[in-house]
Amino acid sequence: MPVFRTILLVSKPGDPTLRSTLETLWSFLERRGCRVLLDPSACTLLQAQGRSPCTHGETPPPDLVLAVGGDGTLLHAARRFVDRGIPLAGVNRGRLGFLADISPDEMLERLEEILSGQYQEDQRTMLCGRV
């Protein structure tokens, strides 16, 4: 099982309701000694809370991507990182959460399990369609 030390938080753009979830994740990951990277959307939300510095780049590349939002946010992150082999996990702040299946109520417990290597990795196939 890989060790996750650098974690990228990806969030649904323009959704201020995600701020507290991102703040909780950031604090938890920092306490665990992880380096936290932020995509531009997460950075914008956390800068409003006085969080900085924000790291938009992926240098070094993340070991894990956490998508905070719904299935659309997870799919966006999957498209972005599909060729890099970086694992993704989704915290569901959308409606159903078929893909982003970690609920906010259990996210710290589940993330603790993931960081401790107690998880099962699912491989997914990505299709490309054109109309």
* CA distances, 58 to each of 41, 47, 65, 107, 114 (Å): 15, 18, 11, 23, 21
What are the DSSP calls for 82-129, one per residue? Answer: GGGT--EEEEE-SSS-SSS-B-GGGHHHHHHHHHTT------------
Q: Which pLDDT value is given to residue 24?
A: 94
CATH number of 6-115: 3.40.50.10330
Residue-range domain boundaries for the chain: 6-115
Q: 8 φ, ψ to 5°?
A: -100, 125
What six digits make up the tokens of 64?
């894990």
pTM: 0.85
Q: Which pLDDT value is given to residue 52?
A: 57
Per-residue pLDDT of the chain (131 residues; tens, 9 = 90+): 568 999 999 998 888 888 999 999 999 999 999 999 888 888 888 875 566 556 655 567 899 999 998 888 888 898 888 788 899 998 987 666 556 678 888 999 999 999 999 888 877 776 777 88
Catalytic residue among 71, 101, 105, 122: 71
Q: Which pLDDT value is given to residue 67?
A: 92
- Determine whether 122 is an active site residue: no
Q: Which pLDDT value is given to residue 43?
A: 85
Cα atoms in the Cβ-side hemisphere of radius 13 Å centred on 125: 3
Angle between helices 19-31 and 40-47 (to 10 degrees): 100
